[in-house]
Amino acid sequence: MDLPRTPSFRLDGRRAVVTGAGRGIGLAAAAALAQAGASVTLIARTAPEIGQAAGGMTDAEAITLDVSDLPAVAAFFAERPAFDILVNNAGTNRPKAMQEVSEEDFDAVLDLNLKSAFFVAQSCARRLLEEKKPGSLIHMGSQMGHVGGPNRSLYCASKSALEGMSKSFAPDLAPYGIRSNTLAPTFIETPMTRPFLADPAFRSSVLQKIKLGRLGQVEDLMGAVVFLASEASALMTGTSLIVDGGWTAD
């Protein structure tokens, strides 16, 4: 009997780009893709962290780029061969009650988490279309794109919008073999979340909602990134892979 064969999780010969790759989830995503065989370009606003990280990978380069500089983003993608895989990860957060949010806060969070993410994806997709290549766009969402939370109005707004953005990309790009999905983690211990999680009351409230009873680590997302990038998820587009320890199960 000829048994079905598991699609490959390997990414040999693929070109990947990861934004916000200097630390935390972005760095872990870049490492996961490199370990799966991809050639990886790490992007961040500051050079030292990504330079050091790229040096520890087999086939990687570090590029200093501010993804909020949209002309620079367009030029970056236009000057290079198409990337088969995008991890659209750059983002920020300003936790405040909605009544305390300023216009400057709004613009800072939505411009990076949504506007920049849109045009990074657009530039990446355009190059794939020009070269008539399939690809996988992975947008770093959040469980907060699926639920609400106190002091998270801006973050929830941006991540909910990212979900809608990715769903709409899917039918636009599916005829060309380009997939678009989000990865939606719970609270992951990273340099960005560590200051919030240092508050015992906040940490306790988070752990009460994570049914598996622990905070996420970046390693918890690495397999999911490789899955979404690889042929193992070839029939997935326009959906969200929620890695939240059961937070949204209620």
> Which residues are designated catalytic?
155
Q: Which DSSP category does 141 fall into?
A: -
Nearest to 127 by CA among 175, 189, 191, 75: 75
Q: Tokens 């919030």 belong to which residue?
A: 196
Phi and psi for 44 in degrees, rounded to 5? -160, 170
Residue 154 CA to residue 100 CA, distance in Å, equals: 11
How far apart are the C-alpha atoms of 220 and 228, rounded to whole Å?
Answer: 14
> Where on the phi/psi map is residue 76: left (φ > 0), alpha (ψ -120 to 50), or beta?
alpha
Dihedral of alpha carbons 186, 95, 161, 44, sign: negative
Give the chain's length: 250
